[in-house]
Structure 1
Amino acid sequence: MEPILFYLLIINLVTLFIWGYDKQMAKTNGQRISEIQLLLLIFLGGFLGGILGILLFKHKISKRFFLIKFFAVGLLQLIFLRFVLRILWN
């Protein structure tokens, strides 16, 4: 498996796990993951894991401003990934 694909698989699994963990902590009033940390995971490549986390755990789904930031960071991540892949494959 290509290293970049392996990385993307791992970061998306971690993001999905963190999303589920944060949802559980929200239910039990436990120690939460900050929104900036969640958005950082998205920027680092965990966009699909974040989408799955939103859909599976129904977490952050009603937070409109967070969703705007989520998709904005996801778009930045895709632009960044395209830039990096262009450099690596040229």
Structure 2
Amino acid sequence: MIILFYYFLLLNVLAFILTAYDKRQAIKQKRRISEKVLLSFVLFGGTIGSGLGMLTFRHKTSKPFYLWKFWTIVVVQILITFVLFFV
């Protein structure tokens, strides 16, 4: 169980850092991290880190298509968690 904790901790920290880095690259108008990579981190458990990064750096918050994908992943994760622990 402790390994799972460290897995999610590391993934969320990386997702936060990647969001910050992508925002910085966007400001500098340089090569950016693809949305596919950012959403992959969300999909594999970096939801909190990515969400906090989005709010902290105001990154991707005005992109409806990205937000739609992000919140779809969040809802699916919540449903899976509910099914695993309460059904």
Q: Do these two structures clear the TM 0.5 threshold for a shared fold by scoring above it?
A: yes
Alignment of 1:47-62 (within 5 A): 47-62=47-62
Q: Does 1:37 align with 2:37?
A: yes
Q: Which runs of 5+ in 1 are unaligned?
A: none
State the Cα distance separating 1:65 from its structure 2 match.
Answer: 1.5
CA distance in 2: counterparts of 1:8 and 1:67, whole angstroms: 21
CA distance in 1: counterparts of 2:45 and 2:79, whole angstroms: 11
Aligned to 1:67: 67
State the Cα distance separating 1:77 from its structure 2 match.
Answer: 3.5
For the Cα contact (< 8 Å) 1:60–1:67, is it kept in 2? yes
Tell me the TM-score normalised to structure 1 length: 0.83
State the Cα distance separating 1:10 from its structure 2 match.
Answer: 0.4
**How large is the Cα RMSD of the aligned pairs?**
1.8
- Moved >3 Å (runs of 4+): 77-80
State the Cα distance separating 1:79 from its structure 2 match.
Answer: 4.2
Tell me the TM-score normalised to structure 2 length: 0.86
* Local SS of the residue matching 2:59: coil
Q: Which amino acid aligns with 2:44?
A: L
Q: Which runs of 5+ in 2 are unaligned?
A: none
Deviations 1:6-42 (A, max 9, x none): 1100000000000000000000011101111111000
Aligned to 2:8: 8
Number of residue pairs the alignment of both structures matches: 84
